Amino acid sequence: MKKFIKYIAVVVSAVTLTACSDDFLEVEPRGQSLESNYYRNAQEAYNGLVAAYDPIGWVGQNYVAKEFALNVASDDFYAGGGNSQDVPAIQAWSSYTLDPATGPQEELWRRSYSGIYRTNVLLSKLPNTEMDEQLRSRFEAEMKFLRAYYYFDLIRLFDRIPLFTEPVAASELGNAVQVDRSEVFAQIEQDLTEAIPNLPTQIDAATEAGRATQGAGKALLGKVFLHLERFGEAAQQFSDVNGTPGGTSQYGYKLLENFGDLFENENQFNEESIFEVIHSSASNWGDWDCIGCTEGNLLNQMSAPRGYNVLQQGKGAPDFIAGWGFNIPTKKLVDAFIYNDGSYDNRYKYTISNLDSLEQAGIISYEESYQDTGYFLKKFAGEQEDRSTGGGNFELNWSQNFYDIRLADTYLLEAEALVRGGGDTNRAQALLDAVRNRVGEESVPATFENILRERRLELAGEGHRWFDLQRAGLAAQYLEFKGYVEGKHDKLPIPLQDLTNTQLEQDPAYQ
């Protein structure tokens, strides 16, 4: 994280670690050792720890990143871009024309299994590493948290998957078989239950930001329980994280006073952040020869309008760069921000930019994207002041971090668990009210429908909507206009290349 660390191959027994000089997770510059002789001491174990975190923020060579792909799969965004063939993997999920050869599944599969391999390697080596026992316990806990994190993504995205809890040699990969989904969930729960007690309750943001904490572990376990409809257990985990609604929790979490501050670069690792995906503009590796080498946030470049130009300064035009025009907000998302009296939710101005109206007023000009609606995702559209001056190509090296879990997210998830599980409705109302009060909106009843709507407004563009629709059983209804087929598109197909010369079986829906 904050640096490029990549194994020569997932199953090759070598470790290649390369780093730039950033605060978090310093490693030896460009060293190489055989894995059989590695992890001898705390520093080498630390290098393995860094490598295990790294896939969280990966961007594929074909521009596929987790949050970007999940956005365009939802009812809130179209793929956009230059035309219907611009980044085919993304277009296929947006239009639900997926098949085993075309879609984001290859990159999402590779990302998580690369992370799992790295966690398994370090877990297998730690018992024989010369290091402090307390530090060893923490490293082990972080690896179990990460393994659970990667498997939770996989089991929500794919139907049946292989389960590895030890490093698998290249010669054995072809013999891997899929297991029942229940086995994967059982492993996730076991990993998190074992990890949480040994994760730190607080970390030093200056040197350890981005690493797993006890709060992050409980939040993730709560999400797992909610997915499994174990509502009471989910509510308890979230309650431990959230504390008193509107107050400061036992882990120091607190809603930021100003919603818009969440998306300012200088507010990284703030009090609302529970688990954050680190991006950096300092890496020299992200260039056109190796797009997948970037440590930057590609969504900033993707979400900015094509050919953007300010014609009249001082008239309220955003200071966007000229981007690539992907991740186009749908009119359905925009309409969700509008109340019956015609007023807009106060989060709208921080979330969406209506460039169509500015163009009609002669204030700006831009090139229409494929599926253009005139709206753009302001939260993540790259701005001139944040343009990278570091190494690599600036288009690939944006430094805005991404919230994987933040407090407003867990507030609303706890409220959902309480409402759906017949729990404390007064607490559910207080949690929902706290999120709405922060942005100056009036109270609404804490119903499941209202909580889902609140999540849509609060978390728009942050990669949660597709999972929310699946969990609520509403995907077929809300995504029908995109071509979604119930019973098929709730999961991605197994990547075609992973079916060749292996024991893996394709999801019957894609055969």
Q: What is the mean pLDDT of residues 134-161?
A: 98
Band (28; pLDDT cuts 50, 70, 90): very low
Q: Name which of 51, 57, 55, 59 is nearest 395 in CA terms.
A: 59
Question: Could you give the residue ranges of the DSSP H alpha helices within 172-263?
Answer: 181-195, 205-208, 214-227, 231-242
The lowest-confidence range among 17-21, 350-354, 408-412, 445-449 is 17-21
Q: What is the mean pLDDT of residues 4-21?
A: 30
Q: Which residue has the tokens 């005139």?
A: 374
pLDDT above 90 coverage of the chain, percent: 82
Q: What are phi and psi of 88, to 5 degrees?
A: -55, -35
Q: Residue 34 has what pLDDT? A: 61
Q: What are phi and psi of 342, to 5 degrees?
A: 90, -5
What would you measure as the largest C-alpha separation in the chain, in angstroms? 68
CB-count burial class (<10 Å; 0-12, 13-18, 19+) for 166: exposed
The pLDDT mean for the chain works out to 91
Specify whether the CB–CB gap between 98 and 493 falls below 8 A.
yes
> What is the residue-wise DSSP string for 364-384?
EEEEPPTT--SEEETTTS-BG
pLDDT digits over 215-254, tens only? 999 999 999 999 999 999 999 999 999 999 999 999 999 9
pLDDT digits over 368-386, tens only? 999 999 999 999 999 999 9
Q: Residue 283 has what pLDDT? A: 72
Q: Inform me whether the pLDDT recorded for 502 exceeds 50.
A: yes
Q: Residue 330 has what pLDDT? A: 98
Q: What is the mean pLDDT of residues 438-444?
A: 98
Q: What are phi and psi of 341, to 5 degrees?
A: -85, 5
Specify whether the CB–CB gap between 27 and 46 falls below 8 A.
yes
Q: Which tokens go with 118?
A: 């790295």
Q: Residue 30 has what pLDDT? A: 36
Q: Inform me whether the pLDDT recorded for 72 exceeds 70.
A: yes
pLDDT digits over 87-102, tens only? 999 999 999 999 999 9
Q: Name which of 183, 51, 33, 184 is nearest 115 in CA terms.
A: 51
Q: Residue 27 has what pLDDT? A: 34
Q: Inform me whether the pLDDT recorded for 349 exceeds 70.
A: yes
Give the Cα separation of 65 and 87 in Å (integer).
12
Determine the distance from the C-alpha atom of residue 470 to the mean position of all C-alpha atoms in its chain, rounded to a whole number: 16
Q: Which tokens go with 22?
A: 């950033």
pLDDT digits over 249-296, tens only? 999 999 999 999 999 989 999 999 999 999 888 776 778 888 888 888
